[in-house]
Amino acid sequence: MRIVDLRSDTVTLPTPAMRQAMFEAELGDDVMGEDPTVNRLEAVAAERLGKEAAVFVPSGTMANLVCLLAHCGRGEEAIMGHRAHTFLFEAGGSAAVGGIHPRTVPNQPDGTLDLDQVEAAIRDANNPHYPRSRLICLENTHNRCSGAVLTPAYMAQVRALADRYGLGIHMDGARIFNAAVALGVPPALVARDADSVSFCLSKGLSAPVGSLVCGPAEFVRQARRQRKLLGGGMRQAGVLAAAGLVALETMVDRLADDHANARRLAEGLARLPGIVLDPERIQTNIVILDLAPGAATAAELAAALAARGVKVGVTEPRQVRAVTHYGIEGSDIDYGLETARAVLGE
């Protein structure tokens, strides 16, 4: 059976060039700072994001966690969207490990936080009842807001607010290269107003494993210490970093194809009965659709599609997510749409 796997861009497999680079990678002990391939990846990542330094970590979850631990102490508060990956899907790590208090503000459908609401959430530092506000966390692109992109203009407003109150800004940039490609600007501009940025090599960029934390040199030194604390100090990690370097060199520009495929998928799906979806809102590679009351549930739709080889994710009882990525071609989008038509009717 033909399989079209749209569950996530995390399912991408490494390219032949990545496997070759992994085979040939020059290696050393990275905890001792001696893996030349990891060192090169960290230098390239910092340079791409316009930051002083970077540290390679095993996952996006750990990347966000080391950043939160480096920004906030126990009993301090991090303001984040109610749909933030860090809030929803990271096992409560910052609270469990760091004693960090998450304070949510509603995400707007475009992935932003309303800045008046953020300001209202900032605590009075002189009132002993309150945790101390320390950090604003943003996500770009925003996974649960259908891959929405935060603009540099919005980020500049967040920066101004954070500076007024002496807060830091962390950007969960798991898909920051999707944001940069969609905006048509360098990733350093997308990252400019964040103090720290995490990004993933193992999503749309198709490397098998790994994320980076980028920021000022002293911050990255702290993040490296937190990585060690969490057990994320890896030894000959250059086998992984080698694939990451190929990802940064060869897999960024093609993200535009994923965005075009996602838009076409959304346009086709929006025409089907029971699907509530505005294709104009799809800016990158994530399509989230709602199912109208009375239509199939998300689990029923996902099961019916999977029985025909089209895999999608269930994000809520009446919500489905489809993600385009390397390995999904235009013909796979056609097949996905044909299958959805067969399941839901025209």
Residues 210-239 interacting with ligand TLP (rule: CB under 6 A): 211
Query: For ligand TLP, what does the binding mask look like between residues 135 and 164, x meaning CB under 6 A?
Result: ----x---x---------------------
Q: Which span sits near ligand TLP by CB under 6 A: 53-61, 73-81, 130-138, 269-277?
A: 53-61
Three-state secondary structure readout of 80-143: EECCCHHHHCCCCHHHHHHCCEEEEECECCCCCECHHHHHHHCCCCCCCCCCEEEEEEEECCEH
Of the residues 20, 39, 59, 151, which one makes contact with ligand TLP according to CB under 6 A: 59
Encode burial over 226-259: b for 16+ CB neighbours within 10 A, e otherwise.
Answer: bbeebebbbebbbbbbbbbbbbbeebbeebebbb
Q: Shortest approach of ligand TLP to residue 164 CB, angstroms?
A: 27
* Bridge partners of residue 260, in order along the sequence: none
Q: State the Cα–Cα distance between residues 214 and 194, nearest whole angstrom.
A: 10
Q: Which is nearer to ligand TLP, 190 or 344 (CB)?
A: 190
Task: Please state the closest distance from residue 73 (CB atom) to ligand TLP, in A.
Answer: 23
SS3 184: coil
Stretch that binds ligand TLP, among 56-64, 244-252, 269-277, 302-310 (CB under 6 A): 56-64
In angstroms, the CA 165 to CA 146 distance is: 30
Is residue 60 a contact residue for ligand TLP (CB under 6 A)? yes
Q: How many CB atoms lie within 10 A of CB 160?
A: 11
Q: Does 315 bind ligand TLP (CB under 6 A)?
A: no
Instruction: Identify the residue among 200, 207, 214, 242 touching ligand TLP (CB under 6 A).
Output: 200
Nearest to 72 by CA among 138, 158, 167: 167
In the complex, the smallest distance separating the C-beta of residue 61 from ligand TLP, rounded to whole angstroms, is 3
* Beta strands, E only, 267-330: 275-276, 286-291, 310-311, 313-316, 319-323
Interface stretch with ligand TLP, choices 55-63, 176-184, 247-255, 273-281 (CB under 6 A):
55-63
Cβ proximity to ligand TLP: between 75 and 106 the closer is: 106
* CA 78/CA 168 separation, integer angstroms: 9
Q: Cβ contacts of residue 154 below 8 Å, gap of 6+? A: 112
Q: Which of 3, 26, 33, 89 binds ligand TLP (CB under 6 A)?
A: 89
Query: Which residue in 96, 94, 92, 115 sits closest to 105, CA to CA?
Result: 115
- Residue 56 Cβ, how far from ligand TLP at the closest point, in Å? 13
Measured between alpha carbons, how far is 322 from 339 in angstroms, rounded to an integer?
14
From 48, 85, 159, 192, residue interacting with ligand TLP (rule: CB under 6 A): 85
Q: Which is nearer to ligand TLP, 54 or 344 (CB)?
A: 54
Give, as ranges, the residues between 6 and 35 that touch ligand TLP (CB under 6 A): 8, 10
**Is 319 an interacting residue with respect to ligand TLP (CB under 6 A)?**
no
Q: Which residues bind ligand TLP (CB under 6 A)?
A: 8, 10, 59-61, 64, 85, 89, 139, 143, 172, 174, 200, 202, 211
